[in-house]
């Protein structure tokens, strides 16, 4: 194990994290690492405390994203543990909100998928693109993009050439809109729509929702791991985990 006073070069930390030495300097400048002393010659002097800070940040980044992870580490090094914990709590609350939204969206999507695309689903038959956009609460340009990549295929009025959205077109547009709100990628949406059109099956939809649920579970697991690293880093749950160079001590963080 590294001794707390043992000197480390930027390249040593860079190899540990799999980043460039410039990125290590950026971490130090951004407050992700505790303040770094310099040698008489002006070189940065890192030690095991900085290594532990880097490991903690990288663990937080995997679960919470770089922006929140950076803000948490900066708060910790400023001695503001309440702010750091508030940021962590907010991220967990947001993840819980995504779970609830996914559940509600899944139920709504399933209801749309199994509904026969009859005329009763539309305010009136043969709706034009502007009317569909207003009905769904999207921009007409979004509908044009979806059409250009083959997700929608509305008919055309023989006299005017204007798009005319029938019941099945409206159902597909509703599905696309709901899936895009759930951050599903367009290729996955294509598979869902193709399955519905070809067989009437919503199996692809269920698979997509299950994949999204799995993604949230993986993120929750990564957040749990990051929180564990943060706990040890701030409380000294393991020997020497609180940095010595400018980092907040366990006593000051708990004050």
For the chain, which residues make up each domain, given as ranges?
Answer: 10-93+224-247, 95-215
Question: Confidence class of residue 251 from pLDDT cuts 50, 70 and 90?
Answer: very low
Say what the pLDDT of residue 239 is: 36
Q: Interior CA angle at 68 toward 83 and 244, to 5°?
A: 65
Identical fold for domains 10-93+224-247 and 95-215, yes or no, is: yes
**Which band of pLDDT confidence, cut at 50, 70 and 90, is reported for residue 116?**
low
Q: Could you tell me the pTM of the whole model?
A: 0.64
State the pLDDT confidence band at 68, using cuts at 50, 70 and 90: very high
Cα separation values, 236 from 20, 88, 247, Å = 28, 19, 12
CB 197 within 8 A of CB 206: no
pLDDT band at residue 237 under the 50/70/90 scheme = low
Rounded-to-integer distance, Cα 68 and Cα 62, Å: 11
pLDDT tens-place string over residues 101-114: 777 777 777 777 76
Q: What is the CATH number of domain 10-93+224-247?
A: 1.10.1660.10
Judge contact between 117 and 171, C-beta under 8 A.
yes
Q: What is the pLDDT of residue 122?
A: 60
242 pLDDT higher than 80: no
Q: Does the structure show a pLDDT above 70 at 7?
A: yes
Domain 95-215 has CATH 1.10.1660.10: yes
CA distances from 200 to 111, 173, 192 (A): 13, 16, 10
Q: With 90 as the cut, is the pLDDT of residue 57 above it?
A: yes
Instruction: Please give the average per-residue pLDDT across 128-144, as a whole number.
Output: 93
Helical H segments across 31-128, by residue range: 48-64, 66-77, 81-114
Q: In angstroms, how far apart are the furthest CA atoms of the chain?
A: 83
Rounded to whole angstroms, the Cα distance separating 14 from 28 reads 12
């Amino acid at each position: 194990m590294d001794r707390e006073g043992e000197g480390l070069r930027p390249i040593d930390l860079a190899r540990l994290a799999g980043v460039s030495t410039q990125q290590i300097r950026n971490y130090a400048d951004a407050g992700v690492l505790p303040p770094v002393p310099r040698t008489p010659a002006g070189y940065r002097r890192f030690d095991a405390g900085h290594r532990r800070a880097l490991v903690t940040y990288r663990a937080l980044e995997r679960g919470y994203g770089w922006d929140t992870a950076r803000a948490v580490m900066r708060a910790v090094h400023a001695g503001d543990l309440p702010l750091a914990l508030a940021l962590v709590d907010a991220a967990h609350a947001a993840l819980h909100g995504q779970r609830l939204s996914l559940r509600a969206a899944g139920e709504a999507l399933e209801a749309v998928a199994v509904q026969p695309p009859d005329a009763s689903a539309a305010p009136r038959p043969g709706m034009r693109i502007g009317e569909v956009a207003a009905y769904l609460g999207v921009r007409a340009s979004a509908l044009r993009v979806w059409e250009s990549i083959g997700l929608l295929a509305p008919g055309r009025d023989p006299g005017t050439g204007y798009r005319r959205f029938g019941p099945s077109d409206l159902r597909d547009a509703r599905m696309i809109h709901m899936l895009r709100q759930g951050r599903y990628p367009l290729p996955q949406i294509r598979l869902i729509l193709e399955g519905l059109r070809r067989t009437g099956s919503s199996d692809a939809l269920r698979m997509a929702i299950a994949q999204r649920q799995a993604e949230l579970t993986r993120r929750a697991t990564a957040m749990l791991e990051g929180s564990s690293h943060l706990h040890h880093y701030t409380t000294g749950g393991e020997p020497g985990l609180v940095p010595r160079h400018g980092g907040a001590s366990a006593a000051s963080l708990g004050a």
